Chain A
């Protein structure tokens, strides 16, 4: 005999965003002063970064907690209302335990469902989609989704392919019920054949990437993903108010944006001041854009995360 029917809301929406950036600024000049063999022109023309932040005084959970508090406040949701916490990260200090339950306890959230999600730079969008799915299934009402990374723990600044790129930060959002669709269907996929393109060196436990392979994959495939996500949400790229791709590299961002053709959208370029913060990069960039008043409430925003795995996820959401 069948089990009880699920009671499902009509839709979901993102009620608010928050972010946290560690206080220690690391400029290109700082890295050069430490002996990294590079120059400011090369970094800016190749990746687009002017400065990034390293969490010298903050742990991963410190950053996640700070971003989450702001997200809750901006969403107008109390900690006691949250029934599920999803922490997207690939830089926990240890495999066991994951950070989501401890994060919930720090925030005074009372025993919510809690799990960590590792989809690297696509983690936040996978987390947002998963949160929306849980609410749509009637299995949660208010979900805290966090993208937090302490990549500096896993970065060798002297490594040619990654040293000047990775950085630390956190962004968070609250997903809740809605009478309408405020979070579009996710377009997700992967390319496991190229799993070796972004890896961890086993001896030093620091990150490595094959720059050209990743560049080809990101610029060749993500334009199509972006267009698909718009199509599935039922909007044209020209209707987008904002495009927030994972902040991997400024040239990748510009190329994907060109293929998308969202002529009225403000494009996130937070990598310039924040570096590449993996799963934190999208909510960090977007939270700042919202804070600066760059996106009208209710306007459509396209998010596209992509990275190690290789894995990707894109979806359109309406601005809180």
Chain B
């Protein structure tokens, strides 16, 4: 079970890979769409990569609720596989 820091670091890797986001720009309060320029299709890629990396399931219906990086980190912490 990954720590919050590990999940955040993992998310930064994913965001860099999927959407060319600089790792130093990734912090919990950042909004995917407004701050990090991650659109709804990239969010699907982020979700799929997070599923693989953290062993969680993130259905499409959940994506609108994950507005910030912090939302995603909390979700992953609360829904281990």
Known A-B contacts A212-B60, A212-B63; the reply to A255 vs B44 at CB < 8 A is: no
User: CB-defined interface of A210-237 with B at 8 Å, one 1/0 digit per residue?
Assistant: 1111011001100000000000000000
Q: Does A288 count as interface, using CB distance less than 8 angstroms?
A: no
Select from chain A the residue with minimum beta-carbon distance to B47.
A216
Q: How many residue pairs at the A-B interface have CB separations less than 8 Å?
A: 26
Check A212–B48 contact: CB distance below 8 A. Answer: no
Residue on B with the closest CB to A249?
B41
Per-residue CB proximity of B30-59 to A under 8 Å, as 1/0? 000000000111011101100000000000
Q: Chain B binding site: helix, strand, loop or mixed by DSSP? A: helix
**B45 adjacent to A212 (CB under 8 Å):** no
Asked if B48 contacts A211 (CB within 8 A), the reply is no
Chain A 89-103: CB-based contact to B (< 8 A → 1; otherwise 0): 000000000000000
Indicate whether A219 sits within 8 Å of B43 (C-beta atoms), given known contacts A212-B60, A212-B63, A213-B60: no
Judge if A46 is at the interface, Cβ distance under 8 Å. yes
Residue of A45, A210, A212, A213 most packed against chain B (CB within 10 A): A212
Question: Which residues on A sit within 8 Å (CB–CB) of B47?
Answer: 216
- Contact: A211 with B40, CB < 8 Å? yes
How many Å from the CB of A247 to the closest CB on chain B? 16
Interface contact B60-A251, CB-CB below 8 Å = no
Q: Do B44 and A215 have beta carbons less than 8 Å apart? A: yes
Q: Please count how many residues in chain A sit with their CB below 8 Å of the partner chain's CB atoms.
A: 13
A46 to B45, CA, bound (A): 13
User: Are B39 and A212 in touch, CB under 8 angstroms?
Assistant: no
Report A-chain residues with C-beta under 8 Å of the C-beta of B41.
Answer: 46, 211-212, 215, 249, 251
> Bound state CA distance, A219 and B43, in angstroms?
13
- A212 neighbours in B (Cβ, 8 Å): 40-41, 43-44, 60, 63
**From residue A38, how far is it (CB to closest CB) to chain B in Å?**
13
Which residues in B have their C-beta under 8 angstroms from that of A251?
41
Q: Do A46 and B48 touch across chains, with their CB atoms under 8 A apart?
A: no
Chain B residue nearest in CB terms to A197: B60
B60 adjacent to A219 (CB under 8 Å): no
Mask for A145-177, Cβ within 8 A of B = 1, else 0? 000000000000000000000000000000000
Would you give the 0/1 interface string for A243-254, flagging 1 where the beta carbon is closer than 8 Å to chain B? Answer: 000000101000
Q: Which of A211, A249, A255 contacts B45 (CB 8 A)?
A: A255
Q: Which of B39, B45, B63 contacts A219 (CB 8 A)?
A: B45
Interface hub of A216, A249, A255 (most chain B Cβ within 10 A): A216
**Residue from B39, B44, B45, B48 having most chain A Cβ neighbours under 10 A:** B44
Assess whether A46 is in contact with B44, with CB atoms less than 8 Å apart. no
Within 8 A of B (CB), among A168-223: 210-213, 215-216, 219-220
> A residues bordering B, Cβ < 8 Å?
45-46, 210-213, 215-216, 219-220, 249, 251, 255
Can you list 13 A-B contacts (CB < 8 A)? Answer: A45-B39, A46-B41, A210-B60, A211-B41, A212-B40, A212-B60, A213-B60, A215-B44, A216-B60, A219-B48, A220-B48, A249-B41, A251-B41
Given contacts A45-B39, A212-B43, A220-B48, 8 further A-B contacts (CB under 8 A): A46-B39, A46-B41, A212-B41, A213-B60, A216-B44, A216-B48, A216-B60, A219-B48
9 smallest A-B Cβ distances: which pairs?
A: A212-B60, A216-B44, A215-B44, A212-B44, A215-B41, A213-B60, A220-B48, A212-B40, A251-B41
